[in-house]
A and B are shown apart, each in its own frame.
Chain A
């Protein structure tokens, strides 16, 4: 068994070498997961917020369902999206299977419930503070959603980061709908899976280390940007 120090050295060597192929894989990973998180946030945050402020029969059941969907197994998501996008499936005509677009779709499905459920919690807490004041001003329940999202923006960042963490780390969904095609749909996690199956454990571990670096970088950049924005925009 190769040891961890060797893997770490290997990882640093890979980063320093500026290997074009590695960078292409890293960039594709970021492109797929960031796109998925962005789309999931655009859908999930208003959805979660609406669920936080609206009152209707079945709301509690919907919240339970949404919370449960946070634990959707990536493989299941991958399988469902595969069956939709397959040429034998209803959306086969779009010819999206084995493309980055298919990977983005799968990750949106995976991440959207996480962002929606966490947004629901953030907005509900804020709404407890704001609701009387906003009603007094004359804002309707659903009309308060943009205000609550905007004023909760720094707490919502956590929801988005949780979604990103899930997206960048998952392999089960993207390997099924992307097919792990070299230079087309091969991302960090599927490369790690492939190198592991080839028995190249040191390389796999090195790639895993790089993946962790990326996750740390994105998180640090986001919280730094968030902190600056917080000072600038008075949260």
Chain B
């Protein structure tokens, strides 16, 4: 008797769990985005304003730009919101996305320990700074994950005519992780790290690290937004996704981005055309 009850309970619970509604009935979109937008707190600040106005819930999957683009190429997401312009343009050109729009920018900085073994503190030329780091063979922690930040970093090394990956494992250390994890790792081994400013300002484990290099136009970090192509993936929630993109590019969206501050500092600068 007890056994029957026991088994029945087990089965019922299993079925109930399996059949549990996957989500609330209300409208939502999935945005494939990057850790920098998430970790900086921008989404937590911005998205409730959008949802309140439109009733559309925005579900953010925050991964590296490389992975975000690959996920979107599988049709797993309605909107792509990342920062690697060449890759984004390729994404659209290959028919995965409808059209790319500039949304905002911030910039990258190179942070380092106060001991500054390569002597780059205060420099404004990023390629020159990287060259000095390579010459000093000072530890440098790289994302190494094909993310937007990683792609930008690799462009700078290329501009400096250096292939740091040849020294991978020695002074050049690829963490293969997100920005936050790389900052945690890099600060623990006194390495220089290139990071987007937004993540850096919001980062809670800075220790005694300081910004060493900033202000180089090459460190400019542009974010773009793309609607995943509904012709290619019929399940894309094109209308809601477009509503989100329109709002981001609208005066209201742009002002919202500009008004986000951490410790009194503006993290992102809207530049939709």
Contact = CB atoms under 8 A, between A and B. Distances in A.
A206 B179 CA distance: 22
Nearest to A96: B22
Interface in B179-209: 179-181, 183-184, 202-207
B17 A38 contact: yes
Interface stretch (B55-63, B133-141, B156-164, B253-261): B55-63
Interface in B222-264: 233, 235
Contacts of A97: 76
B11 interface: yes
A157 to B, nearest CB: 12
A42 B15 CA distance: 10
Nearest to B200: A199
A233 B205 CA distance: 54
B113 interface: no
B10 interface: yes
Contacts of B235: 87, 92, 95
Given A87-B76, A98-B61, A179-B59, A198 B180 contact: yes
B35 A86 contact: no
B67 to A, nearest CB: 9
Contacts of B207: 1
B150 to A, nearest CB: 15
A86 B23 contact: no
A181 interface: yes
B30 A201 contact: no
Contacts of A34: 17
Given A35-B18, A197-B178, A181 B39 contact: no
B74 A86 contact: yes
B62 A180 contact: yes
Contacts of B23: 99, 184
Interface residues of A, number: 39
A37 to B, nearest CB: 10
Contacts of A100: 20, 22
A181 B31 CA distance: 10
B75 A92 contact: yes
A101 interface: yes
A227 interface: no
B3 interface: yes
A196 B71 CA distance: 24
B22 A38 contact: no
Nearest to A89: B74
A39 B204 contact: no
A4 interface: no
Q: A38, A86, A146 — which one has the most chain B CB atoms within 10 A of its CB? A: A38
Contacts of B202: 198
Contacts of A38: 10, 13-14, 17
B10 A196 contact: no
Given A181-B59, A197-B35, A42 B14 contact: yes
A49 interface: no
Interface of B: 2-3, 10-11, 13-14, 17-18, 20, 22-23, 30, 35, 38-39, 44, 59-62, 71, 73-76, 177-181, 183-184, 202-207, 233, 235
Which 4 pairs show the lowest CB-CB distances between chains A and B?
Answer: A197-B180, A35-B17, A199-B205, A87-B75
22 contacts: A35-B18, A86-B74, A86-B75, A87-B76, A87-B233, A88-B73, A88-B74, A98-B30, A101-B20, A104-B17, A146-B3, A179-B59, A179-B61, A181-B59, A182-B60, A196-B181, A197-B178, A197-B181, A198-B202, A200-B205, A201-B204, A233-B2
